[in-house]
Amino acid sequence: MHLAPRLSCIHHLSNVRISSLQLLQIHAQLITNGFKSPSPYAKLITHLCKKSSSESIAHAHLIFRHHQYSPNLFLFNTLIRCAPPHHSISIFATWVSTSHFEFDDFTFIFVLGACARAPSVSTLMIGRQIHTHILKRGIVSNIWVQTTMIHFYSINKDVGSARKLFDEMSLRNSVTWNAMIAGYCSQGGKVSQKYARDALELFRGMLVESTNFEVKPTDTTMVCILSAASQLGMLETGSCVHAYIKKTVDSPEKDVFIGTGLVNMYSKCGLLNSASSVFKQMKQKNVLTWTSMATGLAVHGRGKEALELLDAMGAHGVKPNAVTFTSLLSACCHGGLIEEGLHLFRVMERKFGVVPQMQHYGCIVDLLGRSGHLREAYKLILEMPMEPDGVLWRSLLSSCMLHGDVEMGERVGKLLVERQGGESFDDEWCVGSEDFVALSNVYASVERWDDVEALRDEMKIKGIENKAGCSSLQTTGSQGLVEALL
């Protein structure tokens, strides 16, 4: 007699937290009363997966395995869709290798989505194997399966495979284009500018194909293209995108993501007044909006104004996060605001609940080093609660060179050079010849030529070659995109 209200809880209160005990009781009632429909069992699986514990995931898997009409594809897909990524991948792998269970398009969409939510080298290999299964089963023509694969490959940094899939598709919709454009824009590191250009070029193709009613730029497209223009510092392109948004989006100031993208773009392109104007017009701002504005002020040396945003955020009920403090500490560093930066660093955890991470320590080391407080910076690194990375030591070494502190420079330089070719050769410590060159410059500054020669010999022994210098020149290759937007 208690079954009806509990089933109502399952069907109609999907956002309400139900205890594990209640879920077990509902499961028992379903079995006792002979319920055969998979729908309430699917609801149970969904709620159990939300618990995220190993026990709850195991129970959800048990419901699927012992359903009266087992194996039930609907329940299996629900399990794959709702379970944490690694559980979803493991469950799929188990069933694909031990049974002749017939999967459908949704199965592959959900398991590829799981692979995208947990990017890693091993996940990329698993995803490629899933791609092979899709090809064998002949369902690669499904536009949603293909689009999910593009998203998966992009998230896992295999943009080449994503683009190959994209180019081979005979039919694309707006979601497909957005997945590929967003994939380009999400690639960080040294290749980010190249892929940002690819994103702009792809957007140009999207505009050409927009005569097809299935392909229209969306809010997501605009946010990605603004990001690409920001990475490249292409003001003309960014301004044209802004004009296009005004023509196609009703009140872009009301869209917090587009507004934030505009603030970010104008800030990075040097137009702080335009960024501030968009910021003030926005009806709604989130922590990313405030952080983008603070970052813009920071990189242009207006540190005190960036710090004022912190108080303004609190007045508007927005809590700063780790990225916000990185921007504010960077502002202090660029503006030489030592006392303000140290004060922020001291209160960020006590007052705002943000625990300092590696990047925050990096800002303070840079701040102290630039201002000549090399001993304080060295002591801070040694007292960090986590193992310092090579970036922090290189920042301090740069400051030693700036202020001519040969003794400290030699100490830090030797620490970096000793890491080259050791157990940590593949991690962030080792960047090749740069550390040797930096230490060599320290010795050369005081004419210790024997030490310079010894370093060169060590480089030869370890097979480390000096990298040739290079420079890049940005051309006006975006003219075609500007014309397309206009």
Same domain as 294, residue 266 = no
> Would you say residue 222 has pLDDT above 50?
yes
> Would you say residue 3 has pLDDT above 80?
no
What is the domain count for the chain?
A: 3
pLDDT value at residue 175: 95
Residue 347 CB: number of other CB atoms within 10 A? 13
Tell which wins on pLDDT, 416 or 242.
242
Q: What distance in Å separates the CA atoms of residue 145 and residue 108, rounded to the nearest whole number?
A: 7
- Which residues have CB under 8 Å from 89's CB, separation 6+? 111, 114, 115, 118, 123, 126
Q: Which of 341, 356, 371 is the last residue of a domain?
A: 356
Written as one letter, the residue type at 252 is P
Tell which wins on pLDDT, 133 or 115.
115
Tell which wins on pLDDT, 420 or 358.
358
- Which residues have CB under 8 Å from 90's CB, separation 6+? none
Establish if 208 belongs to a structural domain: yes
Q: What is the residue whose two structure tokens read 């799929």?
A: 92
Same domain as 189, residue 256 = yes
Same domain as 294, residue 269 = no
Same domain as 300, residue 266 = no
Mean pLDDT of the chain: 83
**Three state DSSP letters for 70-100:** CCCHHHHHHHHHHCCHHHHHHHHHHHHHHCC
- Pick from 23-32, 68-77, 80-89, 336-345 the range whose average pLDDT is largest: 80-89
Q: Is the dihedral of CA 129, 134, 135, 140 positive or negative?
A: negative
Q: Which of 242, 273, 304 is the last residue of a domain?
A: 273
404, 445 in Cβ contact below 8 A? yes
Same domain as 266, residue 188 = yes
Q: How many residues does the chain have?
A: 486
Establish if 189 belongs to a structural domain: yes
459, 436 in Cβ contact below 8 A? yes
pLDDT (tens digit, 9 = 90+) per residue, 373-394? 999 999 999 999 999 888 888 8
pLDDT (tens digit, 9 = 90+) per residue, 286-329? 999 999 998 888 878 787 788 888 888 888 889 999 989 998 89
pLDDT value at residue 327: 85
Establish if 79 belongs to a structural domain: no
Establish if 328 belongs to a structural domain: yes
235, 262 in Cβ contact below 8 A? no
> Would you say residue 366 has pLDDT above 80?
yes
Q: Is the dihedral of CA 128, 129, 135, 139 positive or negative?
A: negative
Same domain as 440, residue 416 = yes
How far separated are the first and last CA of the chain, in Å rounded? 67
Establish if 411 belongs to a structural domain: yes
pLDDT value at residue 432: 57
Alpha helices in 300-337 (DSSP H): 303-315, 322-335
pLDDT value at residue 427: 45
> Would you say residue 205 has pLDDT above 60?
yes
SS3 387: coil
Same domain as 303, residue 255 = no
Q: What is the residue whose two structure tokens read 């594990």?
A: 20
pLDDT value at residue 450: 75
> Considering only CA atoms, which of 398, 319, 327, 401 is closest in space to residue 359?
327
Establish if 246 belongs to a structural domain: yes
Same domain as 462, residue 391 = yes
pLDDT value at residue 24: 72
Q: Which of 238, 273, 308 is the last residue of a domain?
A: 273
> Would you say residue 34 has pLDDT above 70?
no
307, 340 in Cβ contact below 8 A? yes
Same domain as 442, residue 394 = yes
Establish if 259 belongs to a structural domain: yes
267, 299 in Cβ contact below 8 A? yes
> Considering only CA atoms, which of 213, 141, 223 is closest in space to residue 178?
223
Tokens of 147: 């689009």
pLDDT value at residue 99: 67
234 phi-psi bin (left φ>0, alpha ψ -120 to 50, beta other): beta
- Which residues have CB under 8 Å from 343's CB, separation 6+? none
Q: What is the mean pLDDT of residues 10-18?
A: 53
pLDDT value at residue 143: 93
Please give the residue range of the domain that contains residue 456: 387-466
Tokens of 318: 């927005």
Same domain as 313, residue 250 = no
Q: By mean pLDDT, which of 27-36, 121-130, 148-157, 336-345 is the weakest?
A: 27-36
Q: What distance in Å separates the CA atoms of residue 361 and residue 370, rounded to the nearest whole number?
A: 14
> Would you say residue 176 has pLDDT above 70?
yes
SS3 123: helix
pLDDT value at residue 382: 92
Distance of CA 68 to the CA centre of its chain: 42
Tell which wins on pLDDT, 480 or 214.
214
pLDDT (tens digit, 9 = 90+) per residue, 97-126? 776 678 899 999 999 999 999 999 999 999
> Would you say residue 141 has pLDDT above 50?
yes
Same domain as 415, residue 351 = no
Indicate the pLDDT class of residue 429, thresholds 50, 70 and 90.
very low
Establish if 59 belongs to a structural domain: no
> Would you say residue 52 has pLDDT above 80?
no
Q: How wide is the angle at C-alpha 299 spanned by C-alphas 479 and 310, nearest 5°?
A: 125
Annotate 147-213 with DSSP letters as a single string. HHHHHHHHHTT-HHHHHHHHHH-S---HHHHHHHHHHHHT--GGGHHHHHHHHHHHHHHHHHHTTST
pLDDT value at residue 201: 93
91, 61 in Cβ contact below 8 A? yes
Q: What distance in Å separates the CA atoms of residue 344 and residue 306, rounded to the nearest whole number?
A: 12
Annotate 404-433 with DSSP letters as a single string. T-HHHHHHHHHHHHHHTTSTTTTSTT--SS
Same domain as 306, residue 265 = no
pLDDT (tens digit, 9 = 90+) per residue, 327-353? 889 888 877 888 888 988 998 998 889
463 phi-psi bin (left φ>0, alpha ψ -120 to 50, beta other): left
- Using alpha carbons, list the distances in angstroms from residue 350 to 25, 353, 383: 43, 6, 18
> Would you say residue 431 has pLDDT above 70?
no
